[in-house]
Amino acid sequence: MIVLGIESSCDETAAAVVADGRSVLSTVIYSQGALHQPYGGVVPEIASRSHLEKIAGVISTAMLQAFGSGTETQVAPAWWEQVDAIAVTYGPGLASSLIVGLSAAKGLALRTGKPLIGINHIEAHIHSVFLSPEAPAPAMLYPYVALVVSGGHSSLIEVTAPRKCRVIGQTLDDAAGEAFDKAARLLELGYPGGPVIDKIARGAGCCSTIDFPKGSPRAGNPILGGLNPELCVSFSGLKTALMYYVRKNPPRDQAEVAAVVSSYQEAIVDALAQRCATALAPGRYKALAVGGGVSLNSRLRERLTAVAAEAGVPILLAQPRFCGDNAAMIAGLAGAGGGVTGAAAMELDVVPSLVAGSV
Ligand code: KG4
Ligand code: ZN
């Protein structure tokens, strides 16, 4: 099954063609990072306008790269015959961004007569670990636990069967990527903050010289909504602690900036690693899968690899090019049988707060 995937949930406009849920024939990502950089975060109006401008070109390029011989400049109508379905993210994300991809996908589905498949972005991040020829088949791993950490989400998700997953832990406030981005903004290090902080912290050596709060939510917090607090995180206190620390001790040189960011990163990584260790401790899960933009963080990769080894389970990390938002994970999950299909797909509207496992 060959699927064209389309993704526009936040600030990346992406399209990809994937065969059989895992062979990536093409993947094209237009990142709007530079447009949002002056604001230190994603500006929804700028994001949706940019998606509108870029989406047609991004889809054509993905089709050309998948089916062309390298000399074509236009999509040949016959190439559509090789595509079995069109998959698109319908949530979660920014409503004004999601609507651009969903409208484009519906239009293409109507025009080509191909079935539409609506995909949950978070479930697609989990699937990103399988977009590699070396990755084991998901069927061998159930039940497993997945950590999805990005600019918008920090969730622990239990996956028990194909199309069957459930959130078992999440952030009560800021996502891990947001915590990185806000710290970088405060310290005027640029946007997105994660990669910059990762790089500075790597140069600073390991790990924590300043004691920042470890992101543990209090039991009894009504926002937990029945989730186990030991599997949840809270990063808003950490951000406030950083603000007060920097106000009292403004870093005087690069070395002091490095000490602050490596300690701050360690607090985030520690919180996430501890939650994964707690989830794996009872021995119920057969693997740990990790996806999302923050899973690019070198210290997090190191710590989670150790956590999985300690629990005696394999760790599945998405390839770096599939960690951030991309459309290969959207087409891949659709090709593997996920998503909303049939007549219901054409009826879909965007769902900005869609939860993993809700369909
Ligand atoms: O998955 P993604 O591309 O988009 C969302 O769905 O949000 O994730 C973007 C987030 C940003 O917050 C960015 O700062 C963070 O991922 N990020 C990192 C690293 N690379 C990207 N965070 C920590 N370390 C990194 N190396
Ligand atoms: Zn994402």
Indicate if ligand 1 lies below 6 Å from the C-beta of 10. yes
Q: What angle do CA 94, 128, 283 make, to 5 degrees?
A: 110
Same domain? 104 vs 185: no
Write down the pLDDT at residue 88: 98
338 lines ligand 1 (CB under 6 A): no
Q: What is the pLDDT of residue 204?
A: 79
DSSP element (H, E) containing 27: strand 23-31
Share of the chain above pLDDT 90, in %: 86
Mutate to test the pocket of ligand 1, among 147, 148, 296 (most ligand atoms within 8 A of CB): 296
Give yes or no for residue 275 having a pLDDT over 80: yes
Three-state DSSP at 217 gives coil
> Does ligand 1 come within 6 angstroms of the Cβ of 193?
yes
**Could you read off the pLDDT of 338-356 as tens digits, one per residue?**
999 999 999 999 999 999 9
Q: Would residue 222 count as lying in a domain?
A: yes
Mean pLDDT of the chain: 94
Q: Give the mean pLDDT of 137-162.
A: 95
- Whether residue 153 sits in one domain with residue 43: no
CA 74–ligand 1 middle distance (angstroms): 33
**Has residue 354 been placed in a domain?**
no
Residues 199 and 109 in one domain: no
Structure tokens at 290: 């990790």
Does residue 207 have a pLDDT over 80? no
Q: How far is it, in rounded angstroms, from Cα 184 to Cα 196?
A: 8
Which residue has the CA at smallest separation from atom 8 of ligand 1? 293
Return the pLDDT at 345: 97
In this structure, the answer to whether residues 151 and 275 fall within a common structural domain is yes
Ligand 1 close to Cβ of residue 92 (< 6 A): no
Q: Is the CB of 152 under 6 A from ligand 1?
A: yes
The residue nearest atom 23 of ligand 1, judged by CA position, is 194
C-alpha neighbours within 13 Å on the C-beta side of residue 117: 26
Radius of gyration of the chain (CA): 20
Q: Do the bridges between strand 12-19 and strand 23-31 make them parallel or antiparallel, or are there none, so unpaired?
A: antiparallel
Does the residue 355 lie in any domain? Answer: no
Q: Which residue has the higher pLDDT, 122 or 191?
A: 122
Does a structural domain hold residue 356?
no
Residue 353 within any structural domain of the chain? no
Q: Are both 245 and 99 inside the same structural domain?
A: no
Domain check: are 168 and 271 in the same one? yes
What CATH number has the domain bearing residue 107?
A: 3.30.420.40
Q: Specify if 61 maps to a domain.
A: yes
Going from the Cα of 41 to the center of ligand 1, the distance in angstroms, rounded, reads 12
Residue 216 per-residue DSSP state: P
Bridge partner list, 156: 147, 169
The per-residue pLDDT for 257 is 94
Report the C-alpha gap between 106 and 56 in whole angstroms. Answer: 13
> Do residues 13 and 90 share a domain?
yes
Q: Tell me: do 142 and 121 sit in the same domain.
A: no
- 101 pocket-lining for ligand 1 (C-beta < 6 Å): no
Atom in ligand 1 nearest the alpha carbon of residue 193: 14
pLDDT band at 248 (very low <50, low <70, confident <90, very high): very high
Kindly state whether residues 293 and 336 are assigned to the same domain: no
150 with 230, same domain: the answer is yes
| 324 CA closest ligand 1 atom index | 3
Together in a domain, 231 and 146: yes
Give yes or no for residue 40 CB within 6 A of ligand 1: no
**Closest ligand 1 atom number to CA of residue 152:** 7
- Residues 149, 103 share a domain: no
218: domain range? Answer: 138-317
Q: How far is CA 263 from CA 171, 202, 213, 283, 299, in A?
A: 20, 11, 10, 31, 12
Between 225 and 128, the higher pLDDT residue: 128
Q: Is residue 133 part of a domain?
A: no
Looking at the domain assignment, is residue 53 inside a domain? yes
Q: How many domains does the chain have?
A: 2
